[in-house]
Amino acid sequence: MKLQFWGVRGYVPTPGAEYLRYGGNTCCTAIYGAGGEMVVIDTGTGFCQLGDTLMTTEFGRGRGEMTLLITHTYWDHILGLPFPGLVHIPGNRLHIYGPDSTRGSLEMVYNGMLSPVYSPVYGLAHIGATHSFQPTTTTPFTVGGMRVSALPLSRRNRSPIWAYRVEEGSRSLVYITDVRYTDDQIWNQALQFAAGASVLVHSAPYTRTEQVQDYGHSRVEDAIELAQEAAVERLIIFHHAQSRTDDQLDLLVSNYRRQLSDDESPLILDAAREGPVVEV
Amino acid sequence: MIVRIWGTRGSYPVARAEMLRYGGNTTCVEVRVGDSCIILDAGTGLRQLGEALGREPNPPTTINMLITHTHWDHIIGFPFFAPIFSPQNRLEIYGLQRTQSSLRKTIANALSDPLMPIGLEDLRANLSFHEIHEGLEFQLDSRVRVCTARANHPYRALAYRLESDGAALVFIPDTGPFHTVLFGDERIEWTGKPTANTDDDLLALATMRAQIINLARGADWLIYDSQFTDEQYARFPHWGHSSASQAREIAEEAGVGQLLLFHHDPHHTDAQIDAMLEEQRAICRSDMIITAAYEGMELRKGDLP
C-alpha cells in the first residue's frame, strides 16, 4: 500500500513561491493498493491535479474506477471534485462514500454545489462518469485487497466528520481531520481507531503556542500525543494553515523532531508534501 | 485610478511551480480611485488583497465588491477576506439579480453548513447586497461611474466598466464569443453543431456583442476572458469562454489602449501563456498593447489615491 498527497493545504488553496515545496492545493490523498486499486480520501483542489495525471491511464479512455472517501463537505475537502476531465468521461466509475448531513445526503449536497448559480455543470445529472454515492457507516468494507473502516469522530454544526482507516495485509493508514479533542470520549475513540497504525495522517494546522481562533482543529501537539499513545509508527501532519510557508514548516517539523529525539520517542514525524509516493 | 491584479486564473486555483509567474489564484482585481476601494470578483486572490489592505496605514472601511457571477472560482476567496470580520467595515456587494435565488442567499448558502462553518451573522462587517442587471449605469462613491453589460456565459454573467477622472477599466473575465452558442439560464447540450440557429438567437448574439464592444469602447484597459487557444475553443465552445484571438478581435474593434489576457486556463503553464501572448502580439494590426495579466500587476492612470 502506497500513499501520495495531492493536496496538503487546509482552508483555502495557496498558490505562491513560498508554498511550493509542501504544496498549496487543498486536501486530497491517494492510496494505491498492491492490486492496482485506488482509494482517494477527500477531493479538495489537489484532486484536480491527480485527475490530470490520470487522463493518460484507463480514466482517459472511460474505463477507470476509483473509490472516494469523503470526510466532510467543507470546501477544502470537496471543491475539486467536479473539475477534472475524468469525472466528465462516460464509462468511468466513482464510488463515493461520505457523510449525510442535516441538510441532506452527500448526493444532494454535491448536486447543490453543481447548481447553475455555482457551476456551469448544471447539476449532477449532467456529469459524465458514473457516480455512485453511499453514506459512510461504521460497517467495514473492502476495495480489492484493502479493508476500509470509518468512524464519525467529530461533528460540526450537526454534520459528522468521518475518520477513515485503510488496511492492507499488516499495514494500515489512518486519516483524521478537522477534530478538536474536547473531551475524553473523542480522545479515547481516536486512540482506539488509530491504534498501532503504520501511518497516521492527522490535520494539525496550528501549534499550542499560536493563539488562533480556530476551534475545529487540533494542534500539532495533540496529533503527536495521539500518535504516541496509539503506538503509531509514523505521523504525517497535514491541512497546513494558509499562512504557513515552506520555511516555517521546515522549522516546525525540525523542532518537534528534536523534541521526539530528546524524549527517545520512536515516532517518525513528517509534514505532508504534495508529490512524493510514500510506502505505508 | 490604480488597478492591481490579485488573481488571474479561471475555473479553479492551481498551486504549481510552472504557473508561478502568471499566478494560480482565481479572479480578483482591486481598483482604487481617491478614497474609493472597488473589488472585482472574489476569487482566491481576495485573501492576499485582504492581507495587503490590513497593512495599509489607513485601510478603506467601505469596500465595494462587484461580482460578475457566482460560479465557484469567482466567490471562493470571500470567507478568507479578513475585512469581513471587522465591525468597522462596510461591504457593498453587487451582483446579478436572479429569479432562482437572491444574491444574499447564494453567498450565505455557499458559506454555511454543510459546505462551510460560517453564517452571514458571523461576519462582523456591515454587509449590503445590491442586485443589479445588465445595461445598468450607476455611481459609486460619487467618483466612479459603473456601467454593466451582459456577457455570453452559462447562466449569464455581468461585464463591468469603471470610469473615473478620464481613466476607464473594463472587466469581462468570463464570456464566450458571439457567433456559435447563445448562453442563457438553460444548460446547453453540445452536439457538435452551432446551437444559435434561429434569427432570434443570432440577433440576440449580435446585440450582446455590440453592447460588449460599446462597453469596452476606448477603454484604457480591457481585462478579457482568454482561457482558450483556438484549438481548445473548437472543442469546448459550450463552456462559455473565449480564445486569446477572440479577445484580441473584440479589443481591436473596441479600440482599447491595452488588452489584458485573463482567466487563464488551469492547465496552461507560464510558457504556454507566453506563447499565446506572443501569437496575438504578432498578428495584432493596431498599436494596441497586449499583455497577459499576472498576479502583482499594477496599472496606473489619472487621479491616483
Amino acid letter at A257? R
User: For the residues B132-161, what does the mean pLDDT come to?
Assistant: 96
Q: Which three cell numbers stand for residue B221?
A: 484597459
Residues shown for chain A: 280
Which of A15, A74, A83 has the CB atom closest to B25's CB atom?
A: A15
d(CA B21, nearest CA chain A) in Å: 9
User: For the residues B11-36, what does the mean pLDDT come to?
Assistant: 96
pLDDT in tens, A31-60: 999 999 999 999 999 999 999 999 999 999
Report chain A residues whose CB lies below 8 A from the CB of B20: 15-17, 20
pLDDT in tens, A149-200: 999 998 877 788 999 999 999 999 999 999 999 999 999 999 999 999 999 9
Distance CA B198, CA B182 (A): 11
Q: Name the β-bridge partners of A39.
A: A31, A67
Q: Does A114 touch chain B (CB under 8 A)?
A: no
> Are the C-beta atoms of B99 and B92 separated by less than 8 Å?
no
Cβ neighbours for A211, distance < 8 A, ≥ 6 positions apart: none
Residues shown for chain B: 305
> Are the C-beta atoms of B159 and B151 separated by less than 8 Å?
yes
Containing H/E element for B265?
none
Q: Does A6 touch chain B (CB under 8 A)?
A: no
Report chain A residues whose CB lies below 8 A from the CB of B100: 116-117
pLDDT in tens, A193-221: 999 999 999 999 999 999 887 778 999 99
Range of weakest confidence among A129-138, A161-170, B31-40, B185-194:
B185-194
Q: Which three cell numbers stand for residue A12?
A: 483555502
Q: Does A198 touch chain B (CB under 8 A)?
A: no
Confidence of residue B119 (pLDDT cuts 50, 70, 90): confident
Distance CA A257, CA B201 (A): 66
Report chain A residues whose CB lies below 8 A from the CB of B72: 79, 113, 118-119
Q: How many CB pairs under 8 A join A and B?
A: 119
Report chain B residues whose CB lies below 8 A from the CB of A49: 14, 16
Cβ neighbours for A181, distance < 8 A, ≥ 6 positions apart: A187, A190, A218, A222, A226
Q: Is the pLDDT of residue A142 over 80?
A: yes
pTM of this structure? 0.96
pLDDT in tens, A55-82: 999 999 999 999 999 999 999 999 999 9
Q: Which three cell numbers stand for residue A5?
A: 498527497
Q: Is the pLDDT of residue B206 over 90?
A: yes
Amino acid letter at B189? E
Report chain A residues whose CB lies below 8 A from the CB of B101: 117
pLDDT confidence of residue B79 = 96
Mean pLDDT of chain A, nearest integer: 96
Phi and psi of A259, rounded to 5°?
-60, -45
pLDDT confidence of residue B197 = 84
3-state secondary structure of A277: strand
DSSP letter (8 states) at residue A12: S
Dihedral angle at the C-alpha atoms of A52, A87, B105, B24, nearest 10 degrees?
A: 10
Q: Is the pLDDT of residue A101 over 90?
A: no
Amino acid letter at A82? P
Q: Does B25 touch chain A (CB under 8 A)?
A: yes
Q: Does A160 touch chain B (CB under 8 A)?
A: no
Q: Do B80 and A242 touch (CB under 8 A)?
A: yes
pLDDT in tens, B125-145: 999 999 999 999 999 988 899
pLDDT confidence of residue B263 = 98
User: For the residues B70-83, what does the mean pLDDT come to?
Assistant: 97
Cβ neighbours for A66, distance < 8 A, ≥ 6 positions apart: A38, A39, A40, A59, A93, A94, A95
pLDDT confidence of residue B165 = 87
Distance CA B289, CA B64 (A): 29
Interface pTM (ipTM) of the complex? Answer: 0.95
Q: Of B225, B215, B276, which Cα lies nearest the Cα of B247?
A: B225
Q: Do B71 and A119 touch (CB under 8 A)?
A: yes
